[in-house]
A and B are shown apart, each in its own frame.
Chain A
Amino acid sequence: MTARPAFTPVSPAELLRQSQAELDALFALLPAPDAAGVGGCWRGTLMAIRGLGWLPRGLAAGTYRLLATPLNPWRGKDFSGQAGANRWFGLPGLAFAGYRVRSMRSPVDGLPVVWLDYDLADNPAPLRGIRGEARQLGDNLLLCRMHWQGRAGLHRVLYFTLARAQ
């Protein structure tokens, strides 16, 4: 087996400038990763946050770059088998807000996705309505979105990428 160069996945800068609708279109085209293959620690970058869509694209991108700095305590996620947790104040940092992980059809578009379900007894009540979806943007790079499960259905909250931490 030959050694392969380790490419550091880069969250594409142009994603930070895109709206939720534009990312929806991209997300719908992407393949789902193998849920068993997402194990490990992933660095997160937020984007397309609901409520910030009115910002000019350049300003929005700058805001999300700011949120990618240590000013934002959320650093990413980790996955272990059929479970995972968000990581705070560094990687691995502190674990808080866990979720169940499974492969299934997205209730949004009916296509394969890795689904994150925060409805766990260990989570505070306000977090238990969170749902997440992940698809493969590249090797070691996922495009994900977070929903809120309300009474009327799923509400898209934001997008984020996860790049496998080296």
Chain B
Amino acid sequence: MTAVPNPGAPDAIVIGSGFGGAFAADTLVDAGLRVLLVERGPWRDTAPVRAAGIAQRSPLPRGRHAVTHLLRRLDAPLLPGGALALHAHGLFDIHLARDLSVVCSSGVGGGSHVYSAMNARPAVARFWHNRADGIEDARMQAHYDAVIARMGARAPRAGDDIPNFTGTRFRNDAGFTGDIEQPAMGFDFASRQFSANSYFGSADGSKVTLDALLLAPAMQRGLTVLDLHEALSIRRDAGNGWIVSLRNHRDGRYTHLRAPRVLLAAGTLNTLRLLFASRAQGALGEMPALGLGIGGNGDSIGWWARNDAGADYSRGTPCHGRFALRGEEDGPCITSFGVNGIDDLPLPRALRDRLRRDLILVGMGADEANGFARWRHGRLQLHYSREANPVLAQLQASFARIAQRSGKRVLSLPHCPVTVHPLGGARVDDNPRRGVVNGRGEVHGLPGLFIADGAALPAAPGSPPSMSIAAWARHVATGIARHGHTRTRQQQETCA
């Protein structure tokens, strides 16, 4: 007896709704596939999401929700079981580890709520060249063009009159300059809303986020989004498709969904957890390269204790922009931020006033992506060597020169690398012993299983990776549509 196809079953399940999941789902829906997207976090309560008619939303961590909705989960070696689940509606997951700590976010729209709005191409020239069969650099550039255009991103200009924009702030500064290539930003400059729009989210919608830009509109075209549904495992079904087991965080119930193809885009750490856990259950075969190629994109964070009288660095775009030491304009990517959203934090006023006079520096660069992840006793362990990634020392040296030139301290923790851009672990490579996915994003030996997020990136782009992840996801989804996996219009009408 052959299984009767269920006309209501999805053609594809997308796990995760960040830059990978959202662009993959949007592309597949446009190609005519019936797509179900599952996201472990909630819809966030922002103006555009309310305007889209999404009824159930969860607040961003501001005001009276600043503490309760800040953290979702904390992974740390000394915790019982290695992890503490705090609040299913929390915005951030923190994974603490000696070698590399990671901060990532949760919610429909993924990292777009907390990122810097910088929509950049790789700092590494010809990033996709010779990575795998089926990947052409020129074609990938077309994907970058498409996703950046879709974000409506453009570089800030002096005429935008943006508070604290580095392109204007350092104009008369002898030590620093912002007169360098500025990244395009996914930001509504016309809104003139320049506060509370960065890493704690953008409640007013001035920062372009994927829930409002892509997912809510895609729901009008047939996309189904299950928020607060966390994928726990994936395994093959009886008919060469896939089963995704989910837990509903609203009522604790478990659901098992079936689809001919599954796209993992849960964010690097969560995609790796899902792959490792499912492999440990014998559900995914060998995947010998799983865990290889971990990197943090060279992320380096510093606190620039400027204490500039009269300054309010909390205002501006989500990121103030890039800057460089004069004479080192070709140096690494260093950006400045204020304590954005500080007025919504439950802090004494004197402390808030003090903090708004300081800056946060974030440096990025192409690290070697030579770390690895392992799965031990049900926990993900990251191994990463600072010494084997010289870009970290280079960025710390840049911070030291910034401090010297400004006469103001830059505080950092060079021996405790932290990244908000974990990449790799399920990277693309034609050789299954070096990579987990092929050039189409499909897992070697597991037809119908794809990886469409930062876990698949073959190297560090050295610049904010959101557009690289989006371009990769679009590439994967376009390939699925092109290779005849689309349900034809006739089939759709027959099953309706």
On A, residues with C-beta under 8 Å from B are 4-5, 7-10, 12-14, 17-19, 22, 25-26, 29-32, 57, 105, 110-112, 137-141
Contact = CB atoms under 8 A, between A and B. Distances in A.
B254 A17 contact: yes
A10 B233 CA distance: 12
A19 B1 CA distance: 28
Given A7-B279, A17-B254, A29-B238, 11 more contacts: A7-B282, A9-B282, A12-B277, A14-B232, A14-B233, A22-B253, A26-B256, A31-B238, A112-B238, A138-B281, A139-B283
Interface string B279-295: 11111011010000000
B330 to A, nearest CB: 45
Contact of B1 (A5, A18, A110, A141): A110
Contacts of A139: 282-283, 285
Nearest to A10: B280
A139 B237 CA distance: 13
B229 to A, nearest CB: 13
Contacts of B1: 105, 110-111
Interface of B: 1, 232-233, 235-238, 243, 245, 247, 252-256, 258, 277-283, 285-286, 288, 378
B247 A14 contact: yes
A111 B281 contact: no
Given A5-B286, A26-B256, A31-B236, A13 B245 contact: no
B238 A30 contact: yes
Contacts of A7: 279-280, 282
B237 A30 contact: yes
A57 B252 CA distance: 8
Interface of A is mostly: loop
A71 to B, nearest CB: 22
A74 B237 CA distance: 29
Contacts of B378: 10, 13
A25 to B, nearest CB: 5
A22 B254 CA distance: 6
Nearest to B240: A31
B116 to A, nearest CB: 35
Pick from B247, B256, B277 the residue with the most CB of A within 10 Å: B256
A31 B242 CA distance: 11
Contacts of A138: 235, 278, 281-283
7 contacts: A9-B282, A17-B254, A22-B254, A29-B256, A31-B237, A137-B282, A141-B283
Given A14-B233, A137-B281, A25 B238 contact: no
Given A13-B378, A138-B235, A25 B286 contact: no
A144 B243 CA distance: 17
Nearest to B288: A5
B82 to A, nearest CB: 13
A105 B238 CA distance: 13
Contact of A12 (B236, B255, B281): B281
A9 B255 CA distance: 22
A141 B285 CA distance: 12
Contacts of A22: 253-256
A19 B256 CA distance: 13
Nearest to B256: A26
Contacts of A31: 236-238
Nearest to B242: A29
A111 B237 CA distance: 12
Contact of A18 (B243, B254, B281, B288): B254
A12 B256 contact: no
Contacts of B243: 26, 29-30
A32 B280 contact: no
B238 A8 contact: no
